[in-house]
Structure 1
Amino acid sequence: MSRRHELQSRVAGLGEIEGIMVAMKNLALMETLKLTRFLAIQQEAVATIETVASDFMAHYGNASAHDQTVRNAYLVVGSEHGLCGDFNESIAQAVQERLPEADRPPVVAVGHRLAAKLEDYPALAAVIGGPSVAEEVEAVLSAVISQFTLLERALPGGQLLGLVVIYHSSETEDIKMRRLLPLPEPKPLAHHYSHAPLLTLAPDDFLAKLTDHYLYAALHEAFYSSLMVENQQRLEHMDKAIRQLDKRVTECALHINRLRQEEITEEIETIMLSLEALGMSE
């Protein structure tokens, strides 16, 4: 096979790769549009629950969280798939830098790409497959809750499991470390109420159910936010890769044209030499 035909085959292969990348880019774009809607709804839900929690604790307090020693465990949200820039590397670096070295707390990593970056971390307790799309978040959260339930059962008596999540925040555009359990300190209320909220449950029962609702909503928000940043970085990564492929295809096309011109020149020279040889023979 001539050099020109080799380049033509290479250009065809690059075209197939570009087609795959364009499809991946379009899927990432569709996912970001969907997550924009999901995330807005979830952030509103979390804000509402936090307002209720602040109102409740301003009047009833959260004594149960202060009666026990809190033992923190960390949920670190990465990606299940690659082609998203330094998404997982930056999360892994945050774990190494922000978690205390003296007493390494247990870490549950979400996403096998992230887990590969944390394989040398001494307190990696578990690895859970991460979601690829928003619809998979629910199943992943079930696995997360099951894993943290096991960690809670392993605690000595008198200790309370604290849950801290580390993830990419689409709102602040950086890596966020956020405490979910026990409930964060109440935010100052916009309005001061002279009377405590009227409850139909005992305060401890209400707090337990409120905590469950908050954990469920806040985890969804964290995962949607992480998926949003992951897909945004994948979009950027794919866009750069497609531009590089286009550049390579253009370079190959120019090279093919030069080779074709050389072939034509050689053919013309061969014809001319043949004509000269015929003229001499006559």
Structure 2
Amino acid sequence: MSKRRELEGHIDSLADIGELLGAMKNLALVESRRINTFIDAQRAAARIVESTLADFIADYSAHIAPPATHGEVLCLIGSERGFCGDLNQRLIAESKAATAGAQIVLVGSRLADAWAHDFAASIPGAGFGDEVQNVLANLVATLTPLLQGSRQFGPPALSLLYLGEAGTVHHSLLPAPEPRRGGPRRSHALQLTLSPQAFHAALIDQFLETALSGALYDALLHENQLRLEHMEQAGHRIDEQLEDLGRRSNRARQEEITEEIEIILLSSLGGSDT
């Protein structure tokens, strides 16, 4: 009886784990849908900023000059939570060619735990879509002192590295790109209440925030998709183990029944001899 009871106890434990994984999978699926909603709104805002930047450059390019950069800040966006496979290890492997000489900023506690080299700063990442804006504010506050240029040298360049649905994303943010406006040229230039230089600086700040926000959402969505795949694979393995344990439990029960029959037969034979 002990062998069968042990198997049944193992079956009950795995079944409980399977139910927990199923609940976690459903939550991850809901979260992916919510993140996609956030991404749609963020991309709409990014298009407005990029369009405004393109219009401004088309009208006032003579008033601004791209700053000379010195050095680089590289921001890596990893995971804050677990159950996402080897995401952080893959990101670290992809970063080897890009981190030489750069100041490293790590986003995500799991990434920071797996990082074995020096870094300039580390902040917690977003576990859910609702947390992205708080992480964005923390990231901007962390990057601001690192992006200050000195009197002798210009500010450093800024780039992002993270894993998205299409693979590794290495996105250069600063110096900001100069998008070209499509379509016919407007008859009148943008009317500004600020100087072109002040307006450009504020617009670059807005561009930087929308780009960072988009990267955080994209990275979180991919992380959540990996989490879904990881839990689905784990669920399949549990189902396979439950099936195997069920067969073993049935065999153990058959062996017990056979043993009980043999005992009854032996007892019957012994009684007839007397």
TM-score (norm. length: structure 2): 0.93
Q: CA deviation at 1:65?
A: 5.3
In structure 2, relative to structure 1, the CA distance for the partners of 1:155 and 1:79 (3 Å cut) is farther
Counterpart residue identity of residue 140, structure 1: V
Matched residue SS, 2:82? coil
Q: Which residue of structure 2 lines up, in the alignment, with residue 137 of structure 1? A: 132
Matched, 1:9 2:4: no
> Could you tell me how far 1:63 is from its partner in structure 2?
6.3
Aligned with 1:226 (options 219, 234, 244) = 219
Between the aligned residues of both structures, percent identity stands at 36
Task: Say which of 143, 162, 173 aligns to 1:148.
Answer: 143
The counterpart of 2:256, out of the listed 216, 240, 263, is 263
Provide runs of 4+ in structure 1 moved above 3 Å. 62-65, 153-158
- Give the Cα–Cα distance (whole angstroms) in 1 for the partners of residues 36 and 126 of structure 2: 16
Helix, strand or coil for the counterpart of 1:98? coil
Q: Secondary structure at the match of 2:96?
A: helix
Tell me the residue number matched to 1:272: 265
1:150 and 1:269, CA in 2 relative to 1: closer, same or farther beyond 3 A? same
- 1:206 paired with 2:203, answer no
Cα RMSD, aligned residues only: 1.9
Report if aligned partners of 1:65, 1:160 keep a CA contact under 8 Å in 2.
no
Secondary structure at the residue paired with 1:213? helix
**One of 179, 186, 193 as aligned partner of 2:172:** 179
Aligned AA for 1:141?
L
Query: 2-side partners of 1:231 and 1:243: how far apart?
Result: 18
Instruction: Give distance in 2, aligned partners of 1:176 and 1:28.
Output: 23
CA 1:88/1:63 → structure 2, altered by over 3 Å: closer, same or farther? farther
Partner of 2:113: 116
Q: Is the 8 A contact 1:65 1:182 kept in 2?
A: no
Per-residue deviation, 1:180: 1.9
2:182 aligned counterpart, secondary structure: coil
Aligned length: 274
Distance 1:197 1:154, change over 3 A: closer
Structure 1 residue aligned with 2:34: 34
> Is the CA contact 2:42–2:213 (under 8 Å) kept in the aligned structure 1?
yes
Q: What CA distance in whole angstroms lies between the structure 2 residues aligned with 1:154 and 1:46? A: 26
Counterpart residue type for residue 53 of structure 1: L
- Unmatched tracts of structure 1, length 5 or more: none
Q: Structure 1: how far apart are the matches of 2:135 and 2:15? A: 36
TM-score scaled by structure 1?
Answer: 0.91
Judging changes above 3 Å, is the alpha-carbon distance between structure 1 residues 196 and 154 closer, same or farther for their aligned structure 2 residues? Answer: closer
Counterpart residue number, 2:102: 105
Equivalent runs, 1:186-197 vs 2, <5 Å: 186-197=179-190
* Cα distance change of structure 1 residues 61 and 118 upon mapping to structure 2, 3 Å threshold: farther
The alpha carbon displacement at 1:97 in A equals: 2.4
- Give yes or no for contact 2:103–2:120 (8 Å, CA) kept in 1: yes
For residues 9-37 of structure 1, the C-alpha deviation after alignment (integer angstroms, 9 at most, x for no partner) is 11111112112211211111011111111
Paired position in structure 1 for 2:53: 53
